[in-house]
Chain A
Amino acid sequence: MQVFNAFMKVLKKNLPTVIIWVAIFLSISIIVSKSGSENSEFKSKVLNVCVFDEDNTESSRAFRDFIASKHNVYELENDDDRILDELFYETKDYVITIKKGFSENLSDGITEGLFDNRYVHESYSNVLMTNLADEYVKTVRAFLAKGDNLSTAQKNAADTLSLNVEVTKETFKEEHIYSDDYSALFSAYFQYLPYVFLQILVSALCPVLLTMNKKNIRNRTNCSSIRPSSQTFQIFLGSMIFVLGLWLLFMISGALLNEEFYRGRALLAVLNSFVFILISTGIAILIASFNPGRVGVNVLSNIISLGMCFLCGIFVPQEVLSDSVLSAARFLPAYWYIRVNNMLSGVSGEIFSSSLCMKFIGIEVLFALAIFAAALTVTKIRHDKA
């Protein structure tokens, strides 16, 4: 197994490239999974509000208490400079002045001109507090219209606006589209795998194959007593061990990151990724067969991986790509990979069908076979020419 051993030693020299790519991808995945795993909670925002009560009636005090039940109310010296400073340094979010005659006007059903407001423009606190005051006034007016007196109307309005409704957030689910087996995290993880596979295999496997197939070394090896078939087999074996190892690493990492093992639809995603890593291997072998040199490999790895990812919906969802782009993308294997991934996760709204999934994966297998055949043909032609 001399050739195999040499292959592994040469591969070892290229491992830093692999480690960098794996580290980058897994780091990003960890960040995404951590941020995604936190439950989405919505909390009402509490503002720092300063209230000046010029009316100083029972009614205005009731309004002040209502604000205090929702936000932090502060006393402040009624000085313009001081107020502006507080707003500027954002120690106070909103300053509201209950104008004289508030009680009278409110009981008369007047809703305009009851307050003076000061706030920082383009601040969401403006909207929040203004809405709250408007809502309060309108609700009081409604209760007044119902026949309540002002103090009862204010009390009822405050009670009504204090009611909390428990909201349960649920994603719209349709049984045939979504599955618990294949979470959004899994989907996102598998979405970007083609890019990483292509980058790693083209930038790490290609240089090894280039070295092993260097004309001088190949000639010297061909002069020895080792059979070419054995030589090719050992290189193939080395490549496959590397590819399988890489694939397993990503599959195990995926399961660990998502804190669950693959089952149900996720197994189809695993199969999908396996077929795609074979495609990536074929592409790496095909590139190496043209003997483009190290610089050429770097250029081609970027063109192929980025090109395929942008055209096929890995970086940009397929839903937003134009029809003409998608028509062209059909001739690239990553398109079918993403079709499967989208169907498994349900993000595209396409109804899940295992037979359709297998059909798409079958198309990927055909791509893999075609690419391997092309690589072998190019290699043979080049060897015959040499």
Chain B
Amino acid sequence: MKVGVLQFPGTCDEVDALLAAERAVGAGNAELLWHRDRDLKGVDAIVVPGGFSYGDYLRAGAIAALSPAMESVAAFARDGGPVLGICNGFQVLCEAGLLPGTMLMNPSRRFNFRQVELEVVVADTAWTRAARPGQRLSIPAKHQTGRWYAPDALLQEVRANDQVVFTYAQDDRPNGSTANVAGVTNAGRNVVGLMPHPEHATDPLTGSADGLVLFRSPLEAAGVA
């Protein structure tokens, strides 16, 4: 299995996403995809990583959503290909209309870094298949514009379709997101986005390995694991 990691100007966490993918699917099996290229190089899964694509100008993720590479990613997603958006990547996927909801600034209006506890809500998505519902994951979150928001009607729809994939497990609601949502999936359950950074939780030496389960999940889907 090969994993592609998108790189926009201003992307920050692409090397971390590469490492996470390689740890899950084997060294040498992940590569960068350049934002101007429509060619996805035949990868089997795509990670849209964190950072500040295009400087977050206009709105976080708004410009990246219009890039040539994202046109191909959208087509890949429509065909059922597994796509994971992390932080800025989640913002990009929302802006591209591949995931429901939108992101607002944290109530503190500050960038905030902290290790958060995530709860896996559903395990029938392309990126949580290796996890179990109710599983707790210790993963860092770091963002200023990470407060997932959905109006009531959309929230009801998302809930009705079991599209909430992750919630923040602790009581203090790190960023004030609607219904404490940390990550969602699309109707096809192949596209997942979340604000916390599972790629920064793939080695106990640097804090936790709880995030590896996401990167292993596409392998299970492919019947490799």
Q: Do the two chains belong together in a single complex?
A: no
